[in-house]
Amino acid sequence: MEKRQLGRSALMVSKLGLGCMSLGTDAKQARTIIEAALDEGVNYFDTADLYDYGENEKIVGQTLKSVRDQVIIATKVGNRWNDKKDGWHWDPSKSYIKEAVKDSLRRLGTDYIDLYQLHGGTIDDPIEETIEAHGGTIDDPIEETIEAFEELKAEGIIRYYGLSSIRPNVIRAYAKHSDIVSVMMQYNLLDRRPEEEALPLLHEHQISVVTRGPVAKGLLSTRWREKADDSGYLNYSYPELKNLLSSIEDYFQNTRTLTEVALQFNLSHPAVAAVVVGASSVEQLKENVRAVNRPPLSEEEYSFLKKMTKTDLYEQHR
């Protein structure tokens, strides 16, 4: 499988990454899917300390232990479980990050993390105007958050760090004032909000985008008829979704599946290094592999998809 450079880092990630959140807690089933991914050339595995109270990290780490030097493990920090495990709160403090990374290392069974991602960011984090008003310096909590990642990198505990966020104010601040190599964000044919602001900015700064949600909760797959309902999707109503997805299927009839169209659309953008997709079965994983290994969209196909779908901007976190 083709591998692409992640930002300015030395990491070469397979253009399909396995999103491990959907693996569940059945260790045997999860191992089967992870091993199938390895067989298909996937080397990029994305987890988080939040998933299944850390159990996901354990399963991922144990399964990849024998091939640790051949894979890229990405995990996340910033969302802290409450004592009762009935919810979590945001904690980007330096002290928490430096403590949480030890727990992730222990669960993963490794002594380093390839890509450590800040899991979120809030509207209360400093926006670019606030930073400029302070003469280019950064107020807490971003300053100490960056310090934590930089110290972990200097100590060899993490190789690189990035964000997992869709918030324009957070992305702008970190793109300018930190050494992030990637931003994971939702991006798909039905959610093209990143195109106007985030993708051009990150591409300019040589920061790669790793997309999540590329099949829009199954709406951009062959199962869209059973997935679509009256709630629609973002600013698409149910009737709009039916008309749009039927039109796309008709256009690509007998040439590309809807899953293939969805994943190739994301990979067509120059800012995107990889698409991270979950899989709850080996067959689903193989379908995603087939989709990314197909030829890229032609200019005509890409233009058709952009013409048919909506663009928009984020209304919050400006």
- 20-29, 30-39, 135-144, 152-161: range with lowest mean pLDDT: 135-144
Query: Are residues 152 and 116 in contact, defined by beta-carbon separation less than 8 angstroms?
Result: yes
pLDDT of residue 130: 43
- Examine the pLDDT at 178 and tell me if it is beyond 90: yes
What whole-number distance in Å separates Cα of residue 170 and Cα of residue 124? 9
pLDDT of residue 123: 44
Neighbours of 267 (CB within 10 A): 22
Question: Is 107 part of a structural domain of the chain?
Answer: yes
- Overall pTM > 0.85: yes
Quick one: pLDDT band at residue 245, thresholds 50, 70, 90?
A: very high
Question: Is 89 part of a structural domain of the chain?
Answer: yes
Question: Is 55 part of a structural domain of the chain?
Answer: yes
- Which H helix or E strand runs over 18? strand 16-19
Reported as a single tens digit per residue, the pLDDT across 196-208 is 889 999 999 999 9
CATH classification of the domain holding 119: 3.20.20.100
- Examine the pLDDT at 193 and tell me if it is beyond 50: yes
Average of pLDDT values for 301-307? 97
Q: For residue 276, how many C-alpha atoms fall within 13 Å in the half-sphere facing its CB?
A: 25
Reported as a single tens digit per residue, the pLDDT across 215-226 is 999 999 989 999
Residue 268 phi, psi dihedral angles, 5° rounding: -75, -20
pLDDT of residue 126: 47
Average of pLDDT values for 268-292? 96
pLDDT of residue 316: 62
pLDDT of residue 127: 45
Question: Is 36 part of a structural domain of the chain?
Answer: yes
Give the range of the structural domain holding residue 60, as residue numbers without chain letter. Answer: 11-216+265-296
Reported as a single tens digit per residue, the pLDDT across 117-145 is 998 765 454 444 444 444 444 444 788 99
Q: For residue 114, how many C-alpha atoms fall within 13 Å in the half-sphere facing its CB?
A: 20
Total number of domains constituting the chain: 1
∠ Cα 58 164 280 (to 5°): 50
Average of pLDDT values for 14-31? 94
pLDDT of residue 137: 46
Crossing angle of helices 168-177 and 142-154, rounded to 10°: 50
Question: Is 249 part of a structural domain of the chain?
Answer: no
Catalytic (active-site) positions: 51
Q: What are the structure tokens assigned to 312, written together?
A: 């928009």
Residue 205, helix vs strand vs coil: coil
pLDDT of residue 122: 55
Question: Is 286 part of a structural domain of the chain?
Answer: yes
pLDDT of residue 267: 98
pLDDT of residue 121: 64
